[in-house]
A and B are shown apart, each in its own frame.
Chain A
Amino acid sequence: SSILTQPPSVSVAPGETATITCGEDKIGRKSVHWYQQKTGQAPVLVVYDDRDRPSGIPERFSGSNYGNTATLTISRVDAGDEADYYCQVCEDGGRQWVFGGGTKLTVL
């Protein structure tokens, strides 16, 4: 089954752009979804199907997926974006799910 590789941590200054990656061989052939989880809270879907945003998610959150790497980009980062971010894919036509290990985003 898939193993999705995420960096354990990413740090960025306020106002800068954060880039969080999710790697797997040929991940570009799958749909990737991203979740934000703040401390003590349930996860929140921020990007689905590689690049679509649910209603209510700011345009600052964007996604891409090509080759062996999917990327979540958060522009104009602020303190409210500090959270753990998880990528997720499905295999076998949706019958098996895999989550990445998560990336802790720190706003300096």
Chain B
Amino acid sequence: QLQLQESGPGLVKPSDTLSLTCTVSGDSISNSDSHWGWVRQPPGKGLEWIATIYHTGTTYYNASLKSRVALSVDASKGQFSLKLISVTAADTAVYYCGRHRFSINTFFVDYWGPGYLLTVSS
């Protein structure tokens, strides 16, 4: 059974860099059928897609976040990571990692991590 688990610092100061890691078990990150990525949810609000990555390094970023976001994959560790620079209070959210499945011209998330609350505060 595929499982994902987010990890990170929990609290980040404004203007700092946010770094989160997702550890995958039960499937290989190099599986040709699988992409991986992140979705976030500010407290009390809806879902926002952040980015998607394939094990080859091909990435897709939300246009509104593209200038501040970077994804990377470490297949040897079964992990992929998110970096978000210059954070503000608006980046406070629950961050979900997940497996992003590709269908014809579309993606969806078929497996989600439990979520990780990251707070931006001084």
Contact = CB atoms under 8 A, between A and B. Distances in A.
Interface of A: 1, 30-31, 33, 35, 37, 42-45, 48-49, 54, 86, 88-90, 93-102
Interface stretch (B10-18, B25-33, B73-81, B107-115): B107-115
Interface string B49-65: 10010000000101100
Contacts of A86: 46-47
B112 A44 contact: yes
Given A42-B115, A49-B103, A94-B102, A99 B46 contact: yes
B103 to A, nearest CB: 5
A44 B102 CA distance: 17
Contacts of A49: 103, 106, 108
Interface in B69-122: 96, 101-110, 112-115
Given A42-B96, A43-B96, A88 B108 contact: yes
Interface of B: 39, 46-49, 52, 60, 62-63, 96, 101-110, 112-115
Contacts of A35: 47, 109
B77 to A, nearest CB: 22
A43 B103 CA distance: 19
Contacts of B102: 94
B39 to A, nearest CB: 8
Given A48-B103, A49-B106, A96 B63 contact: yes
Nearest to A97: B49
A33 B112 contact: no
Contact of A99 (B48, B104, B112, B113): B48
Given A1-B63, A44-B112, A48-B110, A93 B46 contact: no
